[in-house]
C-alpha cells in the first residue's frame, strides 16, 4: 500500500507553489518522494518557499510571470527535463467588485492567469509529459480549480468563478485528448483553505463558513496534500477528466 502512493524518482512542477494551496501541494509531493520545481512571479517569494520546502526533499524554484504565454514557454525551457511526470497548474488570481463597477482589466488579469496559463503550460510541457507517461503509469496534469466554479459564490468575483468553471471544462477536454498519449488530466476544486487569497474572507466569515460546512471546519494543508499525492501516484492512475471537490461538503450539499 505504501508503494501505491510513492512518488520516488518522479519530477513535478507546481505553479504558484510559494504559498497557500500551491505550497501545500508542493510539500505533499516532496514528502511522497518527488523532486519538485516551484514557480511564482516574485523571486524573493520563490527563494523563501524553496528554503522552507527544502527540509522535505529536493526542490528548485524558478520565478516566472505565468500570465504571459512567453513566460510559460520560458519556464518549460528552464525546467529543462526530458521527462515530466506531474504538472500542477495552481497559479491564480481573483478580483471582487460590484457588477456595475467590475472593470475589463479584472477579466483580462484573472482569465489570463487562471484559464489561459494552464492551457499554455500544459502545451509547453507536453513533450516532457508524453515522454514520461506509460499505459500503466500515465503522466499527470492536475489543475487547481475552485468550488466557486461548481456553485454560485456569495461574493461578486465574476471573472474568478467563471475562470474556474471554464478550467474545469478545459480539464475534461484535455483529458479526452491526452488520454491516448498516456497523460491524465484532472482538477481539484478546493473550498475554504487558509491562504493569502482567502485571508480576508476567512477573517470576516471563517467561523460561519466552518459552521455551515457538513464537516464543520476549514481545510487543512494535509487535506490538499493528500488529494494531490493520490492523483499523482499510482493510486490515481485510472482517473482522468474528474473534478474533485475538497471542501468539507460545501459545494455538493449546500
Q: How many domains does the chain have?
A: 1
Q: How many CA atoms lie within 13 A of 164 on its CB side?
A: 28
The rounded distance, in Å, linking the Cα atoms of 21 and 225 is 9
Instruction: Indicate whether 226 belongs to any domain.
Output: yes
Nearest of 66, 54, 64 to residue 144 by alpha carbon:
66
Res 211: pLDDT: 87
| 138-162: pLDDT as tens digits | 999 999 999 999 999 989 999 999 9
Q: Which domain holds residue 195?
A: 3-249
Q: Determine, yes or no, domain membership for 15.
A: yes
Task: Give mean pLDDT in consecutive 10-residue pieces for the chain, a chain of 254 residues.
Answer: 93 97 97 98 97 97 97 97 98 96 97 98 98 98 97 94 98 98 98 77 79 90 97 98 96 83
Rounded to two decimals, the pTM is 0.95
Q: Give CA–CA dist 56/7, Å, rounded.
A: 13
Beta strand extents in 90-249 (DSSP E only): 139-144, 183-190, 243-246
Instruction: Identify the pLDDT of residue 253.
Output: 86
Closest CA relative to residue 69, chosen from 111, 121, 109, 12 = 121
| Inside any domain, residue 254 | no
Indicate whether 116 belongs to any domain: yes
Handedness of CA 206, 212, 213, 214 (dihedral sign): positive
Paired with 189 in beta bridges are: 245
Smallest CA-to-CA distance from 139 within 184, 175, 172, 179 is with 184
Q: Which of 120, 158, 160, 238 is catalytic?
A: 160
For 165-174, letters b (16+ CB in 10 Å) and e give bbbbebbbeb
Is position 160 annotated as part of the catalytic site?
A: yes
Nearest residue to 154 via CA among 187, 192, 116, 188: 192
* pLDDT at residue 200, as a whole number: 73
- C-alpha cell belonging to residue 30: 516532496
| CATH number for the domain harbouring residue 113 | 3.40.50.720
Amino acid at each position: 500500500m505504501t508503494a501505491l502512493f510513492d512518488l520516488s524518482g518522479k519530477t513535478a512542477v507546481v505553479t504558484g507553489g510559494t504559498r497557500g494551496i500551491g505550497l501545500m501541494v508542493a510539500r505533499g509531493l516532496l514528502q511522497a518522494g518527488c523532486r519538485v520545481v516551484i514557480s511564482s512571479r516574485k523571486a524573493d517569494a520563490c527563494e523563501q518557499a524553496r528554503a522552507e520546502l527544502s527540509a522535505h526533499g529536493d526542490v528548485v524554484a524558478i520565478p516566472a510571470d505565468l500570465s504571459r504565454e512567453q513566460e510559460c514557454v520560458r519556464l518549460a525551457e528552464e525546467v529543462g527535463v526530458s521527462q515530466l511526470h506531474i504538472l500542477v497548474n495552481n497559479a491564480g488570481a481573483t478580483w471582487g467588485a460590484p457588477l456595475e463597477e467590475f472593470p475589463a482589466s479584472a477579466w483580462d488579469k484573472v482569465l489570463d492567469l487562471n484559464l489561459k496559463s494552464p492551457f499554455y503550460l500544459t502545451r509547453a510541457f507536453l513533450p516532457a509529459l508524453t515522454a514520461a507517461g506509460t499505459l500503466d503509469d500515465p503522466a499527470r496534469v492536475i489543475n487547481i480549480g475552485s468550488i466557486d466554479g461548481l456553485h454560485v459564490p456569495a461574493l461578486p468575483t465574476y471573472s474568478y468563478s467563471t475562470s474556474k468553471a471554464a478550467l474545469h471544462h478545459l480539464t475534461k477536454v484535455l483529458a479526452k485528448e491526452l488520454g491516448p498519449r498516456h497523460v491524465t488530466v484532472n482538477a481539484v476544486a478546493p473550498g475554504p483553505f487558509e491562504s493569502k487569497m482567502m485571508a480576508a474572507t476567512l477573517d470576516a466569515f471563517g467561523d460561519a463558513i466552518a459552521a455551515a460546512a457538513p464537516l464543520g471546519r476549514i481545510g487543512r494543508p494535509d487535506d490538499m496534500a493528500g488529494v494531490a499525492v493520490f492523483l499523482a501516484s499510482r493510486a490515481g492512475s485510472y482517473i482522468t477528466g474528474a473534478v474533485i471537490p475538497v471542501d468539507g461538503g460545501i459545494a455538493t450539499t449546500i
